[in-house]
Amino acid sequence: MHTNESGALRRRSRLLYSTHTMLPFLHGLEKLQKTITGKIGLRFEEWPVFILGLALLFMAFVFMPGAVSLSLSLALFLAPVWLPLLLITGAWKLWVVLQRSTFIADQKYILLEIKPPRNLVKTPLAMEAFLSSIHLTGGEATWYARFKGGTRPFWSLEIASFEGQVHFFIWTRAAFRRLVESQMYSQYPGVQIVEAPDYTRLISARPEEWGIWGCDFKHTADAPLPIKTYIEYGLDKVQKEPEQVDPLANLVEFMASIGKGEYLWLQFVIRAHKGEKYGSTPAGNESSKRNAAGKPYTWRDEGEEMVQEIRKKTRDPYVDVFTGEERPGFPNPTKGQMEKMAAIERNTSKLGFDVGARGIYIARPEHFNGPTISHLIALFKPFSTEGWNGINSTAWMKTFDDYPWEIGAEKKKDHYRRELVEAYRRRQFFYDPFFEGGIHGHDAMVMSTEELATVFHIPSRAIETPGLERIQSATGEAPVNLPM
């Protein structure tokens, strides 16, 4: 009996594994089929362009049948040239998706919960040092590694509230557990790190049973411009507790305010920045953008261009009285311009991460609280600055305007809700089937370690939210020199 049960469990595990591996590949085939047949789902604002295209095509058939017939004949005649290229390109894309999905599925992942002690006095600078230690770019350095589907490590930093109880997590490959624990303990000696079950799978989160709303988050300005970081709040130095103003306190307090039957999840899926946002090709993208040195164009290059543009604006031109020529004036920047240039240079001088931020509010229908959505949308207001950068909500349920003429919107909403939960559970933002620039228009941010440490750090004792679980006292191993 025991042998039969073990065999059934092994067969079920193999089935789940194969399904998990093939799902992104099948998703790619589905997208290819939709592209070929033209059955692409359109948002409401895209319908006018689609209808206009059909109208133009119909008019061409009516008024220029000879030209249309000639064009089709020419395309058919040249099919031996363009069709193989099209098929090879499509096959290569599907191969990359399959290999990369297999590689990701082959990894073992764990969820580590970080429990802060009551007497923690560390600043967000400690989290910045931790983030620098996991800025890893290996795994896809060569074309052969990419051919096999290799990806650089990606992580998920998470804050989750279960009916008002707030917890901090790091999701990672099991192979990196020692790295995460050692670097976290080195910066936060009093914390407790334990392996936790995946909280996202402890509830069904089906739209038929739960009220679900969620969105992604993106920058409001160009990436090199920083958000309002902990340095602007004066948290780069330890202050007296009554004087500390930690913007994370607003976020934690809000997450602790939800009630029974409600869940609020927030995640930051991160990986080391190598320039994909600007068209470089370490992961097999088609286009490539290079800087003056011939290297992949990154946010540092964009930052240098922004500083140069600001410098040009600080020089008022004048006319030479002797030659009559217009000459650039002496630089005379305002205080705001000087501060903006300094902020860009400070921000881009630090290590950068590609960041996909996502939040979900899930509640039983009888406990679903509509105003919570407004709070979730404005979750990062304390980190935003006019004229600099901020973080705003986008994608997923934000794509619906709830106009009465949005036909079939509720059915499409349920489809989005299911995919939203699945994307969160998979911790996917950069790769198929849920990837930046994909079917839901995700936008990844590029953030420095300073910015990332501002929106995610282990709260010090200055944050006294009752719903934030803390351990009573620090734990540690016995000294090695104790007498036996």
Give me the residue spans of the domains in the chain: 15-96, 110-273+351-455, 299-337
350: exposed, middle or buried (Cβ count in 10 Å: 0-12, 13-18, 19+): buried
The token duo for 229 is 């970081």
The token duo for 436 is 């930046």
Residue 3 is predicted with a pLDDT of 43
Residue 344 is predicted with a pLDDT of 95
Dist CA 352 CA 350 (whole Å):
6
Q: Are 118 and 470 in contact (CB under 8 A)?
A: yes
Dist CA 366 CA 231 (whole Å):
42
Q: Are 191 and 458 in contact (CB under 8 A)?
A: yes
Q: Are 159 and 250 in contact (CB under 8 A)?
A: no
Dist CA 36 CA 356 (whole Å):
30
Instruction: Give rounded-to-5 percent helix, strand, coil for the chain.
Output: 45, 15, 40
Helix (H) or strand (E) holding 125: helix 124-133
Q: What is the pLDDT along the chain (484 residues), one digit of tens a residue?
A: 444 444 444 444 444 434 444 555 545 444 444 443 333 445 545 667 778 888 887 887 788 888 878 888 888 888 898 899 989 988 888 888 889 999 999 999 999 999 999 888 899 999 999 999 999 998 887 878 888 888 999 999 999 999 999 999 999 999 999 999 999 999 999 999 999 999 999 999 999 999 999 999 999 999 999 999 999 998 887 766 666 788 899 999 999 999 999 999 999 999 999 887 776 544 444 446 778 777 888 899 999 999 999 988 888 777 777 777 877 777 888 899 999 999 999 999 999 999 999 999 999 999 999 999 999 999 999 999 888 999 999 999 998 887 877 788 889 999 999 999 999 999 999 988 887 554 455 678 999 999 999 999 999 888 888 899 888 755 555 555 656 5
Angle between helix 65-77 and helix 79-106 axes, rounded to 10 deg: 60
Dist CA 280 CA 300 (whole Å):
14
Look up the pTM and report it: 0.81
Three-state DSSP state, 448: strand
Residue 151 is predicted with a pLDDT of 92
